[in-house]
Amino acid sequence: MICEKEARISAALGIVGALIFLFAFPKGSISTLAHDVLGLPGPGAGIGLVFGPFLIIVAVVSSVLSRGSGGALVTSLMFAVAYALIVHLFRIPTSQKGAFGSSLFIGAVTVFSVVAEVVMALGKRLNTVWRCILCGAVANVALIVIYWTVIFPGTAGWIHRSDVPVLLGLCFACGVVAGCVAWGISRPLSKSFAVK
């Protein structure tokens, strides 16, 4: 498991990530980008294209900076809880379709973080960049499946079967890219933040 210093760094990454995401993607912007600008089917394109990759970057960077396991879990949970608290305290409007800031949102991020931790732990024999890529791809696909089965049926409706392959491919590709980005970001950060 991660040490106290790593846990603090992981928690800080989660909180900073939540703040950045909350203000970089205000209510409706993800759906507008995914559906109106890019013309992607849904629901789920915004999760696979924006939210999942952002969360992957934050969680995987934390995992790489941690010597022990648990960095991605702590970061993801702090991301979800901080996001929900900020939204609640400051009454910031969020997307009802994506259930951002709700208990379902926190649950989805929790499952995502467990998947990310398992993939990073199972991939310990792989080169770090390949672990990051594998984690990004698997965790992003897991996140969209969680949204399709748990959240979207009550908020946005069921996805059409014909749209599933397109969106799964998008999630996989965006997860791979996010894993690469996370690896690239973690390299210079590890010199300053990783516990020796």
> Does the pLDDT of residue 196 top 60, yes or no?
no
Long-range contacts (CB closer than 8 Å, 24 or more residues apart) made by 91-94: 92/22, 92/27, 93/26, 93/27, 94/27
pLDDT at position 32:
85
| pTM listed for this prediction | 0.93
Q: Is 76 exposed, middle or buried (0-12, 13-18, 19+ CB in 10 A)?
A: buried
Query: How many angstroms separate the CA atoms of 6 and 115, rounded?
Result: 20
Amino acid letter, 6 = E
On whether the CB atoms of residues 76 and 113 are closer than 8 A, the answer is yes
Region 162-169: mean pLDDT is 96
Q: What is the mean pLDDT of the chain?
A: 92
Query: Domain 4-193: which topology?
Result: Arp2/3 complex 21 kDa subunit ARPC3 (1.10.1760)
Region 98-114 average pLDDT: 94
3-state helix, strand, coil in the chain (%, to 5): 80, 0, 20
Please give the pLDDT value at position 66.
Answer: 86
Tell me what pLDDT residue 29 has: 87
Establish how many alpha carbons lie within 13 A of residue 60's alpha carbon, considering only the half-sphere containing its beta carbon: 36
Structure-token pair, residue 57: 């970057």
Which whole number is the average pLDDT over 140-151?
97
Give the mean model confidence (pLDDT) for residues 156-172: 95
Residue 5 has pLDDT above 90, yes or no: no
Going by C-beta distance under 8 Å and a sequence separation of 6 or more, which residues neighbour residue 64? 71, 128, 132, 182, 183, 186, 190
Q: Tens digit of pLDDT for each residue in 131-142?
A: 999 999 999 999
Most confident listed range (52-61, 68-77, 96-105):
52-61
Average pLDDT over residues 62-80: 92
Q: What is the pLDDT of residue 193?
A: 62
Torsion angle of C-alpha atoms 32, 36, 37, 40, degrees rounded to 10: 100
